[in-house]
Amino acid sequence: MKTINVPIPGKEYNVHVHSGILFDIDKYIDVNKQIVIITDDFIPKIYLNTILNKIINPLIIEVPMGEDSKSISQVTYIINTMIENKITRSCLVLALGGGVIGDLAGFVASIYFRGVDYIQIPTTLLSQIDSSIGGKVGINSENMKNAIGSFYQPKMVIIDPNTLNTLSIKQKNNGVAELIKYGLIADKSLFEDVCNKDIWSNIEHYITRSIEIKRDYVIDDEHDNGKRQILNFGHTIGHAIEQFSKYSLLHGEAVAIGMLAMAKDTKYHIQLQNCLAKFDLLKTY
Ligand code: NAD
């Protein structure tokens, strides 16, 4: 097991990465709290059922899978459901799912009774190495991605790499785009490994390394005013493409195109192109 500390002043938290950790969730969270689990309807039920073995009578709120759930209507639905079920300020929200659930549940936690505790339990590669770390939470407006949101750090992040076993190849590759990004901005050997090795046989290591890289940018610039913006490499073009495609392109697929465009005049361009092709991330380029 690996624990990565994220020492944001006054909001410090740990990220625990361990295969099988979901079976022991009661060792990490206070199961006597009033717990709200927010998840989506496509995530295999095995993960929810695993944590339900250890949590007594939580409120489970399920939203439809996909980017459309990052919406004000889903926020209203979740908040109304929590109020109807008499969920108090001392509750604990668990975000069980990919980046959509993490962004949505984290945003709800940031505004429910002016803020309640939440824990990220990311289940996609993209959410394990990127979106669950750093406290950016939010939803989309009708015409702009991530237009409504806050910076609101989780109390903890619990990562079980075994959840990736049920992820489709396309969703895995979607996450690999962000792995490649970390390699390009901060760790040449990570980039070389992703391009040349079988990363899946040692994925726990690459998840951990990515989190360390993201942590180092976030702790120096929590609110994204300077250094943290390096993490957006390829994302300005990527977000535009993602939105223009009406989300038929996944986040990582769009960012891949953005990174390649940004690297056009560098010595890494060809290597990056080949690497992205290895993960089927260039089919629309
Ligand atoms: P996602 O949350 O939509 O998940 C992708 C699909 O995988 C969904 O259909 C989901 O039901 C399914 N799924 C989840 N876990 C699974 C599992 N273990 N097995 C099988 N299926 C599973 O997408 P994502 O790629 O995880 O996240 C994308 C979102 O993250 C975007 O909205 C993006 O804006 C956001 N994001 C946020 C940040 C941040 O810092 N907050 C950073 C990057 C991306």
Ligand 1 mean position, distance from CA 128 (Å):
9
Spell out the residues 6+ positions from residue 239 whose beta carbon is closer than 8 angstroms to its own. Answer: 145, 146, 254, 258
For the entire predicted model, the pTM comes to 0.97
Q: Is the dihedral of CA 247, 223, 96, 158 positive or negative?
A: positive
Please report, as a single letter, which amino acid is at residue 113: F
Radius of gyration of the chain (CA): 18
Per-residue pLDDT, averaged over 65-73, amounts to: 96
Residue 283 has pLDDT above 70, yes or no: no
Q: What's the pLDDT tens digit per position in 130-149?
A: 999 999 999 999 988 899 99
Atom of ligand 1 nearest to the CA of 146: 34
Residue 101 has pLDDT above 90, yes or no: yes
CB of residue 249 inside a 6 A radius of ligand 1 = no
Please name the residue that has the structure tokens 């560098």: 266
* CA–CA dist 74, 173 (Å, integer): 28
Among 51, 124, 243, which is best to mutate for testing ligand 1, by the most ligand atoms less than 8 A from CB?
A: 124
* CA–CA dist 137, 122 (Å, integer): 13
* CA–CA dist 42, 167 (Å, integer): 11
* CA–CA dist 236, 219 (Å, integer): 22
pLDDT at 284: 61
Residue 285 has pLDDT above 60, yes or no: no
Read off the pLDDT band of 56 (50, 70, 90).
confident
Helices within the chain (DSSP H only): 45-52, 72-84, 99-111, 125-126, 169-186, 188-196, 203-220, 235-244, 251-262, 269-278
Instruction: Please check whether residue 275 is in contact with residue 180, taking contact to mean a CB–CB distance below 8 angstroms.
Output: yes
pLDDT at 139: 98
pLDDT at 62: 98
Residue 279 has pLDDT above 60, yes or no: yes
Read off the pLDDT band of 247 (50, 70, 90).
confident
pLDDT at 145: 87
Please name the residue that has the structure tokens 């190495």: 129
Per-residue pLDDT, averaged over 227-237, amounts to: 94
**What φ, ψ does residue 92 adopt, rounded to 5°?**
-130, 125
Among 19, 51, 131, which is best to mutate for testing ligand 1, by the most ligand atoms less than 8 A from CB?
A: 131
Residue nearest atom 42 of ligand 1, based on CA coordinates: 131
Residues paired with 15 in a beta bridge: 4, 157
Read off the pLDDT band of 246 (50, 70, 90).
confident
Residue nearest atom 37 of ligand 1, based on CA coordinates: 131
Nearest to 259 by CA among 247, 272, 250: 272
Nearest to 159 by CA among 6, 14, 11, 16: 16
Q: What's the pLDDT tens digit per position in 175-230?
A: 999 999 999 999 999 999 999 999 999 999 999 999 999 999 999 999 999 999 99
Q: Kindly state the DSSP code that residue 17 receives in the 8-state scheme.
A: E
Q: What's the pLDDT tens digit per position in 106-119?
A: 999 999 999 999 99
Ligand 1 mean position, distance from CA 163 (Å):
13
Residues paired with 45 in a beta bridge: none
